[in-house]
Amino acid sequence: MKYLLLICVGDKVEVPPGTPNIDQWLAKVGDRRLHGSEIRPISDAATVRTRSGEVVVSSGPFAETAEHIAGYDLIECADLDEATEIAAAHPVAHFGSVEIRPLHE
């Protein structure tokens, strides 16, 4: 099954000492990681809505949140338990959060 990991951080990131680096995580995940990338900051984001036939574009993300999506990883695992293990080992899980979203196959 494929899972999308949404990598979320706050505005002020403080990486705790001893946090694994991304290369260590990538080595652990191996070929279960299908794709991933950092994304540009929320200051470069736009939100698009269509209301009554009119397209409305606004700057930034739709919702005000304490954390924002800083990147993503697409992984393939046997089940949610395996995806959770991979997400928990992600470096950002030590100071931000990693949301796991299963994809429809």
CA distance 6 to 59: 21
Mean pLDDT of 9-26: 91
pLDDT class for 59, splitting at 50, 70, 90?
confident
CATH topology of domain 1-12+20-42+67-105: Alpha-Beta Plaits (3.30.70)
The answer to whether residues 100 and 83 touch, using CB atoms and an 8 Å cutoff, is: yes
User: For residue 61, what pLDDT is reported?
Assistant: 66
